[in-house]
Amino acid sequence: MSTTEPAPAESGAAAAGTTEPAPAESAAPAASGAAAAGEKKLRPGRTNATKQRLFEASMELIGERGAAGVTVDEIAAAAGVSKGTVYYNFGSKSDLIAQLLRHGVDIMLVRLQDVRGKANDPLESMNNMVGQAMEFMDDYPSFARLWVSEIWRTPGEWSAVFAELRAELLAVIGSAVESVASGYKVNESIARGSLEAAIFGAIFVVGLDRQTYNPERTREQSVAAVMTIMHGYVIK
C-alpha cells in the first residue's frame, strides 16, 4: 500500500470534543482546580500533547496577525514540530483553525459553567459570569481577537462552526438572563436576543479594548461597564 493513510485524528468537531469521553480539562493551563484527575494513562501519548502545543502556538500567532496572516510553517516552528506534523494532525490550515475555535469555546464554556449557581441572586450570578468571561479574555486574548476578526465574515470559511459555537455561548448567557428575568421585574420591550448579543459583544469588545488601549483599567471596571446593560434591563 503506497498511500500512508495517516490521519488518525480527523475528529470533525461534531458533537462531543475529543476522542476520549472526557471532554473537559483538555487545555486549561490554570483552570480553577476541580478539573479531571487522571492523565498519565493516555494511551495515544504524543498526539494529544502535540495538538495541545499546536493549539497554543496557533492561538497566539493567529490572534496577533490574523488567520490569513500566519503561515503553517510559522505555527509549526512555534509549536516546535515540523510542518508535516501539522498536516498529520489536522487535514488543513482551515481545519486546524476550526478545531482551534471549538477548543477555545470549550474552555470558555467550562469556565462559565463553573460559576453557574455559585450565587443566589441572579444579578450577582450574572456579575460573576461576566467576571469569569472577562478573566477568560485576559487569559486568552488571542482567542478573543481571532473570534471577533472572523465571526462576522459573511460566507466565510468557518461560518458553520461559528454559528454553532455562537449559539452555545449565547445559550449560556441566555439562561443567565432568563434567571434575572424571573427574579426581577425587567423591561419586556427589549428583545431578548438583541440583549444577549449586546452583552456578549460588550464583553468581548470591552475586554479587548482594555487590553489594547487601556491596560491601566481594572477588570472590575470592565465588568461594571458591561453589567450596566443588566442594570438598565431590570426595572427599579
Partner DNA sequence: CTAACTAAACTGACCAGTCAGTTCAAATAG
Partner DNA sequence: CTATTTGAACTGACTGGTCAGTTTAGTTAG
List of residues contacting DNA (CB under 7 A): 2-4, 6, 8, 44-47, 49-50, 70-73, 80-85, 87-89, 92-94
Please report how close the Cβ of residue 74 comes to DNA at its closest, in angstroms: 7
What size, in residues, is the chain? 236
Q: How far is the CB of 207 from DNA (least distance, A)?
A: 28
Distance CA 134, CA 11 (A): 30
* Residue 171 engages a second copy in binding (rule: CB under 8 A): no
Residue closer to DNA by CB (options 12, 201) is 12
Determine phi and psi for 234, rounding to 5 degrees: -80, 145
Report how far residue 226's alpha carbon sits from residue 205's, in angstroms, rounded to the nearest whole number: 10
Select from 13-21, 28-36, 67-75, 83-91 the region that touches a second copy (CB under 8 A): 67-75
**Beta carbon nearer to a second copy, 110 or 226:** 226
What are the φ and ψ backbone dihedral angles of 186, each rounded to 5 degrees?
Answer: -120, 165
C-beta separation of 149 from 208 below 8 A: no
Residues pairing with 116 in the sheet: none
Nearer Cβ to DNA, position 2 or 189?
A: 2
* Residue 106 touching a second copy (CB under 8 A): no
Neighbours of 70 (CB within 10 A): 20
Look at residue 8 and give the partner it binds from DNA, a second copy, none, a contact being a CB closer than 5 to 8 Å depending on partner kind.
Answer: DNA
Q: Which residues pair with 234 in a beta bridge?
A: 186
Which 8-state DSSP code applies to residue 186? B
Q: Which residues bind a second copy (CB under 8 A)?
A: 64-69, 144-145, 148-154, 156, 163, 166, 187, 189-191, 193-195, 197-198, 200-202, 204-206, 208-214, 217, 221-222, 224-233, 236
